Amino acid sequence: EKYFPAVKGIAESYAGLCYYRLGQRLVGKARDHAQSAVDYVTRAIKLKPNFVCLWKLLANVLDTVAEFPRPRSHLLIEGGLAGVVHRKNALLEGEKLFELASRCYSRAIKINGDDSLLWYELALNHYRRATRFGTVREESVKKLSSAVEAAKQAIKLEPSRWQNWNLLGVICANKEINNLALAQHCFIEAISVDKKTAAVGWSNLGVMYLLQGSIGLANKAFGRAQQTDTTCINAWIGQASIAEQMGHAEEAMDLFRHCTQLGYHPESALSYAHWVCSVLSEEDYSKNKRNQFAIENMHALPLSHDSIQWHCIDKHDEASVEALSFLGNISSRLGLWATACEAYRKAAAKANGQQKDHILCDLGQCLLKRKLYSEAVECFQQVSEATYQATVGKALAYFKAGQYQESYAEYEGALNWLATSDLEKAYVLIAMSAMVYAFQGEADAKTILFQCITLPEPPIEALFSACALGLLHKDHVLTELVIKELRKYEDDPKHGHHVVYLVSQFYWANKQKSQSLAYLVSQVHKWPARAKLRQVLAISLLKNHRTPKQNLIVASGIAQSALVLDLHDRQGSTRAEDAAKWLAVASEAVRPVDERRRRVLAQKAVHVDPTCREAWSSLIRVLQAKK
């Protein structure tokens, strides 16, 4: 414990682990390693209090932790070191850590005042304190002035070090100092001193030009920074910002994505999330090949989710409404409903007016997905201005909560006062029919559906609802009437498989079993590349046409071929859960005829998606049969 080289080495190792974990954005682990580093360096200082490297190491760790997100920005410091003599240990947070780091730098400078790096670190410490905790202007200006003096001293001691010039330029460019002429001079000096490695200096010069509206000069400066260091994230952010200003949206999105791949930066994280949400907000984004590639093939959702989540954690209480909204939107797209709800709640607490109403509507939808129906009702009730989206959402929340009368009243209000087109009215009527069917029965539901069907251009969902209602309650007149309309959509690539399924069920309900199967087979022959048609045929063979046994082998083969077609479809992506389900169907189909094949398919289903219940159910039945 008193062997100085070992204690110092352990302290440096923990400090290195802290920086490594911080690079991975594992802030909690980084803080734990920082605490261990502080403990060991404190012991080392007791052994050798006049070693400059120890004071500098301690100050560096304190500076690093002081910039952590607020919940993680704290360390337990020995009382004597923290200036609290009457206590053994003191918990220091945020600005107090910066202050102690400043004292450590000052102690090191007192021992060796000719080290320019110590003056540089002290200037950086004052600058960070001013920008992060300078809430009072006078205090902020005072700290920045101290930072300027320390940076000038660093330049005086070592003018050939470009970082010294660069730091002085950054401090002078701050809005409180606002000495842009000196800042520009410093940046130029930085790149003049070392043109080969001063990528950050070029980037800062580019930012200055960009803020002054000199886009051409900014572009050249950022370009030189990229040539100097291809991984300089600030330079890429600068080029992305230029593309954004010039109206080149696709290039801006690509550049911001590249920034997030290089590493974490709050600006690129926010901007990339913004562009991802902008593309996703377009209803037909998948029709644009470039947008579809940028979202699906480049894994935009998980990448942007990680970066914007880090951004919101990093900013903590200072995270903007927009950042929290982006996090909520992307989380909901990924099915992370708890994360989305938390983000939307924080955003709603900060937002006002119409923006808050939109966020509350999104929050309400997420709560519905989590089956928190009472909370969803309360959320929609907080919306200040009645809109179509908010009213329909509230009606659905009431319905899910079992408050049918309130739900009907909300739907009626949306239908009579808020729906602005026949299509919106039609969707409200469909929802009303589903709700009325749940608590009043089929007669009233049919009445509402007839209102919907008689509109000039009823949506296909209305026809689906009417057909399903007719099939369930053996209303052959209604079913036949709707089937005639549905046959018009038989070849539609989006809805065709639903139509084919309902038509086949119509034949089956009328005891035309052979006609039902022949119709399904003819449609698969007509459109052999449509995976969903094959899925309908496989399910029909498994449920309704189990004899002869050859049909089961055919059903298994068709289910597997549907999966293969789905996997090779370049227009969309296959979910692992869906793939596992169809392998489970294929396994179940061959149960009476090929036990070995059944077991192999069930195992494949579990391997494809270990979280799929159907896959495990299929495998369990195989194992039980084996016993």
DSSP string, 7-71: HHHHHHHHHHHHHHHHHTT-HHHHHHHHHHHHHHHHHHHHH-TT-HHHHHHHHHHHHHHHTS-GG
- What confidence tier does 431 reach under pLDDT thresholds 50, 70, 90? very high
Mean pLDDT of the chain: 92
Distance CA(576)–CA(582), nearest Å, equals 10
- What confidence tier does 259 reach under pLDDT thresholds 50, 70, 90? very high
Q: Which fold has domain 520-627?
A: 1.25.40
**pLDDT score at 132:** 87
Between 91-95, 264-268, 283-287, 514-518, the lowest mean confidence (pLDDT) is in 283-287
**pLDDT score at 79:** 87
pLDDT at 570 over 70: no
pLDDT at 357 over 70: yes
**pLDDT score at 41:** 95
pLDDT in tens, 322-340: 999 999 999 999 999 999 9
**pLDDT score at 2:** 80
The contacts of residue 490 (CB under 8 Å, 6+ apart) are 496, 499, 500, 503, 523
**pLDDT score at 289:** 83
- Which two tokens mark 565? 């077609």
- What confidence tier does 342 reach under pLDDT thresholds 50, 70, 90? very high
Q: Concatenated DSSP letters for 66-118?
A: HTS-GGG-EEEEEHHHHT-TTSSEEEEEHHHHHHHHHHHHHHHHHH-TT-HHH
pLDDT at 572 over 70: no
pLDDT in tens, 503-535: 999 999 999 999 999 999 999 999 999 999 999
**pLDDT score at 571:** 61
**pLDDT score at 9:** 95
**pLDDT score at 455:** 82
pLDDT in tens, 59-95: 999 999 999 998 999 999 998 888 877 778 899 998 9
Cα 254–chain centre separation: 17
Residue with tokens 């068709």: 558
Phi, then psi, of 92 in degrees rounded to 5:
-105, 140
- Percentage of residues in the chain having pLDDT higher than 70: 99
- What confidence tier does 369 reach under pLDDT thresholds 50, 70, 90? very high
Distance CA(420)–CA(121), nearest Å, equals 62
pLDDT in tens, 375-429: 999 999 999 999 999 999 999 999 999 999 899 999 999 999 999 898 999 999 9
The contacts of residue 482 (CB under 8 Å, 6+ apart) are 453, 463, 466, 467, 470
**pLDDT score at 515:** 95
pTM metric for this prediction: 0.88
pLDDT at 627 over 90: no
**pLDDT score at 136:** 77
- Which two tokens mark 612? 């799929």
- Burial pattern 249-263, b for ≥16 Cβ within 10 A else e, equals eeebbbbbbbbbeee
pLDDT at 264 over 90: yes
Q: How far is residue 393 from each of residues 157, 351, 366, 480, measured CA to CA in Å?
A: 67, 20, 11, 33
pLDDT at 557 over 90: yes
The contacts of residue 493 (CB under 8 Å, 6+ apart) are 530
pLDDT at 558 over 80: yes
- What confidence tier does 347 reach under pLDDT thresholds 50, 70, 90? very high
Residue spans of the domains in the chain: they are 520-627
Distance CA(73)–CA(62), nearest Å, equals 9
- What confidence tier does 124 reach under pLDDT thresholds 50, 70, 90? very high
Q: Which residue in 429, 383, 376 sits closest to 400, CA to CA?
A: 376
Average pLDDT over residues 120-134: 92
Q: Concatenated DSSP letters for 576-607?
A: HHHHHHHHHHHHHHTTTT-HHHHHHHHHHHHH
pLDDT at 33 over 90: yes
Average pLDDT over residues 296-323: 93
Q: Which residue in 361, 299, 296 sits closest to 328, CA to CA?
A: 361
Average pLDDT over residues 181-191: 94
Distance CA(287)–CA(310), nearest Å, equals 31
pLDDT at 460 over 90: yes
- Which two tokens mark 308? 């914007």
Element (H, E) at 541: helix 531-544
